[in-house]
Amino acid sequence: MVPRVKGTQDFLDLSLYNFVIDRIKKHLQRYHFTEIATPILEAVDLFNRSLGLYTEVVTKEMFIIATADEEEPICLRPEGTASTVRAFIEHQIQSPWKVFSYGPMFRYERPQKGRYRQFHQVNIEIIGAKSIAQDVQLIKMLDRFFHEELVLNNYALLLNFLGCFDDRKTYQLLLKDFLEGPIEGELCSMCLDRKERNIMRIFDCKNPLCQKIYKNAPTIVDNLCKPCEKEWQQLQEQLSLLSISYAYQPTLVRGLDYYNKTVFEFVSKNLGAQNAFCGGGRYDQLVGQLGGKEDQPSLGAAIGLERLLLLLEPFKDQLPLEKLPALQVIMPLTSSQHSLALLLADDLQAQHLCVDILLAGDSLKSMMRKANKMGATYALILGEEEQKTRTVTIKNMTTGHEERVAQIDTASFVKK
């Protein structure tokens, strides 16, 4: 046996997955988002230029595909925002553009609960959205989805504000000064490395000693320029206005370089170490960075479907998942009734009934057992007698009641 690739999953029951996708599509359409789909294959350069050369996704986690020498290197997409922005620029779309897409993403990470090498995201983006009130609306839309559509309660919203790119630059210098102060000798080797390459990622360190030190680090919200300071206040006031509870988290920086101003994550204790099931924020310069004619202030979010499914699994029975259609099982008693069984099935299927035929030549008793297992509503028995008289014996699988009905009346009988 060749097992599945490490960090991938087989979905053998898609009922919950399909429920979530169906609900989010309807929810997003109500907020005037349009569905799009972009390719799974993209140029490596797209992510080098957007996510940042020193981010972990780019340095360690890309699935790069070997191509002929003269061709541009390509990869399996690790996230959705860069692709959406590429599509926006490539098709010369007018802003504002409110779109969503969903599908698999690929990152070469160490697999663990809630962390896979192939995982699925719903990506939601608003390209051309300057006002901070848009951030509030996006967060409210997500919160309403989790709370009202999926009836989740066991989560929290973490929020931080990274300011504009100038603020970030100033802050990074402040942070460097702090890290190079008296505490430098106490930092772990990974943090020392991050200090040089991608300084704000130090906050993701899992080492308790480093985390203790960072409690005293300068915060970016204390070092914002005047306009950003105003927007940060506005963000908090409008979130409260819409009754959204959130926790300010000064160490939330999110992994990718393109974020500025608002960043947020929805997290749940029930998920263990990989506790974020949705993350997002603003990326005001990404369109310009990827070759757009002018910058388009933008924002977006990605919902991690595997983690959302993990949260929902214990409450699955309380959700109105789509019910399977009632199944009718046709049982030809011998091979002489196979053609008749095909015809009857074809007639019922043409009338949109859900039908299966048992053609393995089993005894009636064994066919009944199988139909029971399959959850059949009715068994439609075709023997020599039924063939002669153009009838079918219909057995109600719940009550056990049997009735002989003309073959042409089968559909109307089972539909009753």
Distance (Å) of CA 155 to CA 21, 147, 158, 203, 228? 20, 9, 10, 21, 28
Distance (Å) of CA 217 to CA 199, 200, 209, 262? 12, 11, 13, 20
Find, among 80, 385, 130, 135, the residue nearest to 256 by Cα: 80
Is residue 304 at the binding interface for ligand AMP, with CB under 6 A as the rule? Answer: yes
**Tokens representing 206?**
């899992």
C-alpha to C-alpha distance for 383 and 337, rounded to whole angstroms: 7
Our CB check for ligand AMP shows the closer of 23 and 115 to be 115
Q: Do the bridges between strand 34-35 and strand 97-106 make them parallel or antiparallel, or are there none, so unpaired?
A: parallel
Which of these ranges, 114-122, 176-184, 313-321, 400-408, lies near ligand AMP under the rule CB under 6 A? 114-122
Our CB check for ligand AMP shows the closer of 277 and 378 to be 277
Which of these ranges, 172-180, 188-196, 275-283, 289-297, lies near ligand AMP under the rule CB under 6 A? 275-283
Is residue 103 at the binding interface for ligand AMP, with CB under 6 A as the rule? Answer: no
Torsion angle of C-alpha atoms 194, 197, 198, 200, degrees rounded to 10: 50
How near is the Cβ of 303 to ligand AMP at its closest, in Å? 7
Is residue 302 at the binding interface for ligand AMP, with CB under 6 A as the rule? Answer: yes
Is residue 281 at the binding interface for ligand AMP, with CB under 6 A as the rule? Answer: no
Which of these ranges, 12-20, 176-184, 277-285, 333-341, lies near ligand AMP under the rule CB under 6 A? 277-285
How near is the Cβ of 170 to ligand AMP at its closest, in Å? 25
Distance (Å) of CA 8 to CA 104, 108, 373? 11, 11, 30
Identity of the amino acid at 123: N
Q: How many residues form the binding site for ligand AMP (CB under 6 A)? A: 17
How near is the Cβ of 111 to ligand AMP at its closest, in Å? 8
Is residue 125 at the binding interface for ligand AMP, with CB under 6 A as the rule? Answer: no
Our CB check for ligand AMP shows the closer of 52 and 332 to be 52
Judge contact between 129 and 298, C-beta under 8 A.
yes
Our CB check for ligand AMP shows the closer of 285 and 337 to be 285
Q: Which of 278, 310, 331, 333 binds ligand AMP (CB under 6 A)?
A: 278
Contacts 24+ apart (CB under 8 A), 247-251: 247/156, 247/157, 247/158, 247/159, 248/159, 248/160, 248/221, 249/158, 249/159, 249/160, 250/160, 250/217, 250/219, 250/220, 250/221, 251/160, 251/203, 251/214
Is residue 115 at the binding interface for ligand AMP, with CB under 6 A as the rule? Answer: yes
How near is the Cβ of 247 to ligand AMP at its closest, in Å? 16
Is residue 121 at the binding interface for ligand AMP, with CB under 6 A as the rule? Answer: yes
Is residue 119 at the binding interface for ligand AMP, with CB under 6 A as the rule? Answer: yes
Which of these ranges, 191-199, 273-281, 318-326, 381-389, lies near ligand AMP under the rule CB under 6 A? 273-281
C-alpha to C-alpha distance for 351 and 210, rounded to whole angstroms: 67
Is residue 107 at the binding interface for ligand AMP, with CB under 6 A as the rule? Answer: yes
Residues of this chain that bind ligand AMP (CB under 6 A): 79, 107, 109, 114-116, 119, 121, 255, 276-279, 302, 304, 306-307
